[in-house]
Chain A
Amino acid sequence: MNPFAIFNRHPASELSAYIDGQVKSERRATIERHVDGCASCRSDVAELRVVMTTMGDLPLAAAPRSFALTPNMVARPVAASEPRSMPGYVGMRIAGAGVAAVLAVVVLLDAGGVVNESGSGDDSGSTALNFAETSDDAPTGAQLDMSEYDEFANDLEASASPVERAGGAEETKAPEPTIAPGSAPADATQEPAAGGIGGALDGENATTTPDEGYIADAPVATDPVLPVNADDSDAAATDATLDNEALRTVAAGEDNGISTLVIIEIALAVFAAAAVAGSFVLAYAVNRGSNRD
């Protein structure tokens, strides 16, 4: 019995490396002395050896089959990894591009309407300009409407975020200057138009929002159901101006000039909504499909 063994901590954590000869020589001698005089460590060493022997005696399993690579195996992962991530982006890009293109057309038509109508006479000025006039008459009402629009637009913009990620929103915001030459009320036509992207995502609101963008001068437009009737331009004009006396005459005067534009815009908006919804569904389906692999 080694008298020093009592004073040494059991080198348990080193015994494994000690057995493998992986301990430096000075330390090795110390451990050796300890083990010699310590029954507990001696039994540890013996049992660790049993583990090593038993594990070492485990027979090697023959490979159950050949793992030789075929040209297919080598080609597959490279080819598979690209389409796996692509369809989602492609879907989003198509959606973004589609929305941007349609909105660009809408905005151009709007701008065209502004130019044509403002050139045609005093009374038949652009709707944006008319709104500017009426807001002078009823500043309080206009202010209220603005805040409602803001809320609405914010809500829609929140839901529009997926499109923003696709880069669609940036493009749609770009044409702003063409419509709104500075006047604050004219901006009101902007926001619902921008919100229109978000609305298009929902599908239900989709058909209504572009109208709101167009007839933003009508405070009623905050009710998203009304403009759906705009096919009947008379009804739309009446509805839109119900709450605002000052607007009624203006809107009535605009009827003939606006109606075709409104219809075209509704059609485009429906198309945009369908395109966006479709491509999202497609992108979703493709993603799910690729995740399953």
Chain B
Amino acid sequence: MAAVAQTHSDDDLDLIARARGGDLGAFNVLVERYETPVFNLCFRMLGGPAAEDAAQEAFISAFRFLERFRGGSFRAWLFRIAANACYDEMRRKKARPAVSLDQPRGEDQRPFDAPDNEPTMEERAANTELRQALQHALDQLPAEQRLAIVLCDVQGMDYAEIALVMDVSLGTVKSRISRARFRMREMMMERRELLPDSIRQSGEEQ
């Protein structure tokens, strides 16, 4: 998906220019192009239905503040807006915890249209459990570490682009990703039985 987004970058600029002129249709081409990565970023950050609101809010803000985009990676700029929308959503959630308590965590999980090739029943169940465990582990991370590891390992961004999204130095990006991975490791090793055999072996053989 990272590759897909990057091949569009030239075309992006043309669409951005038109959108700046008020062409909502041109902007919606960009929305269509980026809505999956943006939604997934929000989903991993928020782990629930709030992701939908955050993603929508991000695109609305992006359109309104399009004037402020000064070239470079549109994806990084857009992700930064999306990350901010997620932070807003987290603050809102913290301010009104009763709202989120209404829904038990497990049911927050949206059913994925997983590109698994005809998984068996057991595999599917194990996958679901693993994904829930991963999301739960992600939820335990401090927000900026979660953002770093999601951008790096889920969205496949390189450090330089992550530094743009997070507006921090490369060193900070490195340390946030490192801390997030070590914490995720601890939590994953506690649920080692959920990992697929192939991965478990690769972790143990060395």
Q: Name A residues whose Cβ lies closer than 8 Å to a Cβ of B.
A: 12-17, 20, 22, 42-43, 45-56, 58-69, 71, 73-74, 77-78
Chain A residues, Cβ within 8 Å of B154: 55-56, 58
Interface size on B, residues (CB 8 A): 56
* Contact between B59 and A66, CB atoms less than 8 A apart: no
Are B43 and A61 in touch, CB under 8 angstroms? yes
B178 touches A16 (CB 8 A): yes
- How many pairs of A and B residues are in contact by the CB < 8 Å rule? 127
CA distance A146 to B28 in the complex (A): 72
Closest Cβ neighbor of A52 among chain B residues: B153
One digit per residue, 1 when the CB lies within 8 angstroms of any chain A CB and 0 when it does not, for chain B 114-132 equals: 1110000000000000110
Interchain CA distance A53-B198 in the complex, whole Å: 11
Proximity bits, B150-178, A CB within 8 Å = 1, else 0: 10111010010000000000100011011
Given contacts A22-B170, A59-B113, A67-B31, 15 further A-B contacts (CB under 8 A): A16-B182, A20-B152, A20-B177, A47-B189, A48-B181, A49-B203, A51-B185, A52-B181, A54-B195, A55-B153, A59-B115, A61-B39, A61-B43, A63-B39, A69-B63
- In the bound assembly, the distance between CA atoms of A22 and B161 in angstroms comes to 13
A contact residues around B36 at 8 Å (CB): 60-63
Q: Could you give 25 example pairs across A and B, Cβ below 8 Å?
A: A17-B159, A17-B177, A17-B178, A22-B170, A46-B202, A46-B205, A49-B203, A53-B202, A54-B188, A56-B154, A56-B156, A58-B131, A60-B36, A61-B39, A61-B40, A61-B43, A63-B35, A63-B39, A63-B55, A64-B110, A66-B35, A69-B59, A69-B63, A74-B63, A77-B64
Say how far A123's CB is from chain B's closest CB, in angstroms.
69
**What A residues does B206 contact at CB under 8 A?**
42-43, 45-46
- With both beta carbons as reference points, the residue of chain B lying nearest to A35 in the complex is identified as B206
Residues of B within 8 A of A17 (CB): 159, 174, 177-178
- Given A61-B43, A63-B35, answer yes or no on A48-B182 (Cβ-Cβ < 8 Å): yes
Q: Is the CB of B116 within 8 A of A59?
A: yes
Do residues A67 and B56 form an inter-chain contact, with CB atoms below 8 A?
yes
> Closest CB-CB distance, B21 to chain A, in whole Å?
14
Q: Are A55 and B149 in contact (CB under 8 A)?
A: yes
